[in-house]
Amino acid sequence: MSQTTMTLEAIEQLAKDALMGAGASEAAASAVAKSTWRAERDGVRSHGLMYVPIYAEHVQCGKVDGKAAPEVSQPKPSALRIDAKSGFAHPAIDAGFDKFIDTAKSQGVAVMSVFNSYNCGVLGHHAERIAEEGLIGLCFTNAPASIAPTGGSKPVIGTNPFALGIPSQDGVHFVIDQSASAIAKSEIMLRNREGKAIEPGWALDAEGNSTLDASEALKGSMVPSGGAKGFGAGLMVEIFAACLSGAVLGKDASPFSGTVGGPPNTGQCFIAFDTESFSGGAFHDRVDSLVAAITAEEGTRLPGSRRSGARVNTAAGVAVDDALIERITAFCA
């Protein structure tokens, strides 16, 4: 399969042009394109350019309102609520982000919920963005149901990731980003597109049997990470991202893939903590000590280190399949 090396800037511009060509506003297209840039930079291909044709198709079919204008409200001093208006999550998050950060710094803690939303890309990037402001960022996002309860066979919750961004005195210490499933569903979608087998323990087919066939996995359910504990983590995310925000539950949301159904209208929840308000100045010393203890052991690594390492490798550009570029370019007109 032929490939072309693209700079990250070119990747961002291609994504923006395709989304605007599909009918998205410049603000929405720019926000999603920036997310695509970050995903490719970190080697998270499943959330990068691969998703752009899906985004564009969803704008065209009405699954996402590409011109939606998010509405921000602040019902209480430390609470922000954003109605994404069935549009992309990224511009909705951007619409409230500055006020969210200012509120956390002035109040000690702030919570920002988003509803009537959509896929927000790599959740860890939002946690990292909060940590870059010197705050602890705790993030949740729900997704259309793909995980069945332990002992069951009918999906009730989505892969439902949570992410935690930890600030350092001069940047970001680390970011934890993990889903309730053994693997992100987008990775199975990628394997299915490429005609490759998935790994054991990733998914079940429609009859509840283990499968290595990506297409059969997409008809069945994802395996929760750690069994019942993984399902519990996903249920926690559902409470914050859907129940607390007032978004549609994963079991009632239309899929993030394909054109069946209307807008998913799922949700997100972001919590930011000002460390000085709680630790009395001890936070950074404690985290420094914890990080030193982890990295001192041979063979260990901090969460997120693979992604941060990928940033060095992608600085000169990213190899992209020409067939994918052609699919995306078709939307640019």
Residues classed as catalytic: 46-47, 187
Q: From residue 27, give the alpha-carbon distance in Å to each of 16, 34, 121, 244.
A: 9, 11, 16, 27
Q: Give the side-chain half-sphere CA count within 13 A for 182.
A: 18
Which single residue is written with the structure tokens 């990775």?
187
User: What is the spatial distance between Cα 278 and Cα 275, in angstroms, rounded to a whole number?
Assistant: 6
User: What is the spatial distance between Cα 140 and Cα 113, in angstroms, rounded to a whole number?
Assistant: 9
User: What is the spatial distance between Cα 16 and Cα 57, in angstroms, rounded to a whole number?
Assistant: 14
**Full DSSP string of 282-308:** -HHHHHHHHHHHHHTSTT---TTHHHH
User: What is the spatial distance between Cα 332 and Cα 56, in angstroms, rounded to a whole number?
Assistant: 10
User: What is the spatial distance between Cα 97 and Cα 171, in angstroms, rounded to a whole number?
Assistant: 18
CA angle 124, 3, 46 (to 5 degrees): 25
Question: Closest Cα to residue 141, out of 112, 127, 161?
Answer: 161
The greatest distance separating any two alpha carbons of the chain, rounded to the nearest whole angstrom, comes to 57
